[in-house]
Amino acid sequence: MKTVLVTGGTGFIGSHTVISLIENDFDVIIADNLINSKKEVINRLHTITGKQIKFYNVDCCDKEALSLVFKENDIDSIIHFAGLKAVGESVSKPLEYYSNNINSMLTVLELMREFNVKKLVFSSSATVYGQSEDVPFTEQSPLGMCTNPYGWTKWMIEQILKDVAHADPSLSIVLLRYFNPVGAHESGLIGEDPQGIPNNLFPYISKVAVGTLECLTVFGDDYDTPDGTCLRDYIHVCDLAEGHVKALNYIDTHKSGVEVFNLGTGKGTSVKEAIAAFEKACGHSINHVFGPRRAGDLPVCYASTDKAREVLGFEAKRDINDMCSSCWNWQQKNPNGLSD
Ligand code: NAD
Ligand code: UDP
């Protein structure tokens, strides 16, 4: 059984990926400092998978502490999810974002070198495509012109990984550019659990649906799109999780270098369509008003999925209704999220 170190494994995408890894016979170790997640996730993962997962409460920027994880385990590959991800917060706290996201990646790379670990999957984002309006985004689309420090950390880490892989041809690295991950595991035991008022559409809609928040503001209905609201490529987090297993399998057969894949559905859904789908899932209307545009929002963003399909054999299976119903199931069962 191959051992995968999942940094950030108690977070939203990491926790769902841990389930897919276990279902595919990987042995999993989680390293997370719980800065944006709860230890209770480990208990929930135990309930779902029947496995007691080895968990280290460790900051991935702390080399000495993280090196223990490498010493105590025979790590075959790493999926590096650990990082801060709130776009708005990154604008007000750029130092925290650059420091955490880049140092955690550098520390993992240094330890990979010391402990002879060769395989890495990195959580990148469609945000590296910046302000281009030329959709769909293919892996060859121009990068940069990011609108916030969070996006720049992803862009910089991609560059770091390309340089490191160039210098050491024994490394095999996959960069996964996620589009908009939403939804939750079918059990309703784990899901997205943002602290405070959510910035993203789906957590916000869920909180209005469950009654924690009063009203959703739709940021702009005067875009040049079919219904005037922005289109995004929402992808079910369980599909995304399966994409990571495909990426690890690919790395095993792929000798060296860096390969990049978009993970999306290839379809754009508007804010109005997302609200309507959620209303169908929860069985009541979602209170919303139309407000001004949000600075930096692209009108349309969706992935070209050709490369992931052709090379990884990855295709998203779940649709927007599955995303909304699983999100609602999780929200209803955990109206206040998780507590420790
Ligand atoms: P999340 O915040 O739920 O998970 C990230 C996890 O990393 C958290 O559990 C947090 O406690 C942990 N963490 C942060 N800094 C750490 C550090 N220094 N040491 C150890 N643990 C640390 O976020 P998510 O939505 O699951 O995202 C996972 C990754 O995917 C992130 O790198 C994020 O930037 C990237 N990503 C997310 C999205 C999205 O919309 N959710 C889109 C594109 C890319
Ligand atoms: N959005 C909105 N109201 C909100 C949050 C988001 O209308 O409270 C819109 C946002 O303008 C964008 C879409 O929903 O068009 C998706 O936003 P999100 O922040 O989830 O993803 P991103 O824009 O980062 O892709």
Mutate to test the pocket of ligand 1, among 29, 85, 234 (most ligand atoms within 8 A of CB): 85
Closest by CA to 320, choosing from 284, 283, 286, 270, is 270
- The mean per-residue pLDDT over the stretch 5-34 comes to 98
Model confidence pLDDT, tens digit, residues 231-271: 999 999 999 999 999 999 999 988 799 999 999 999 999 99
What are the pocket residues of ligand 2 if the criterion is a CB atom closer than 6 Å to any ligand atom?
180, 199-201, 204, 216-219, 230, 232, 271, 294, 297
My answer on whether omega of the bond before 335 falls inside 30° of 0, hence cis, is: no
Select from 85, 8, 11 the least CA-distant residue to 41. Answer: 11
Average pLDDT over residues 224-228: 97
Choose the catalytic residue: 56, 97, 129, 150.
150
**CA of 221 relative to ligand 1 center, distance in Å:** 30
Q: Quick: pLDDT tens for 158-192.
A: 999 999 999 999 999 999 999 999 999 999 999 99
Q: Tell me which ligand sits closest to the C-alpha of residue 148.
A: 2
Report pLDDT for 131.
Answer: 84
Q: Which ligand sits closest to the CA of 202?
A: 2
Mark 94-126 as b/e (b = at least 16 C-beta within 10 Å): eeebbebbbebbbbbbebbeeeebbbbbbbbbb
pLDDT (tens digit per residue) in 27-52: 999 999 999 999 999 999 999 999 99
Contact (CB, 8 A) for 113 and 122? no
**DSSP-derived secondary structure for 228-281:** SS-EE-EEEHHHHHHHHHHHHHHHHH--SEEEEEEES-S--EEHHHHHHHHHHH
Average pLDDT, the chain: 97
When pLDDT is averaged across residues 143-166 and rounded to a whole number, the result is 96
At residue 133 the predicted structure's pLDDT band, cuts being 50, 70 and 90, is confident
Lookup: tokens for 47: 């309930």
pLDDT category of residue 146 using cuts at 50, 70 and 90: very high
How far, in Å, is the centroid of ligand 1 from the Cα of 35? 9
Distance 271 CA to ligand 1 centre (A): 24
Amino acid residing at 295: A
**What is the spatial distance between Cα 138 and Cα 153, in angstroms, rounded to a whole number?**
20
What pTM did the predictor assign? Answer: 0.98
CA-to-CA distance for 153 and 144, rounded, in angstroms? 11
178 is catalytic: no
What tokens does 11 get? 């977070």
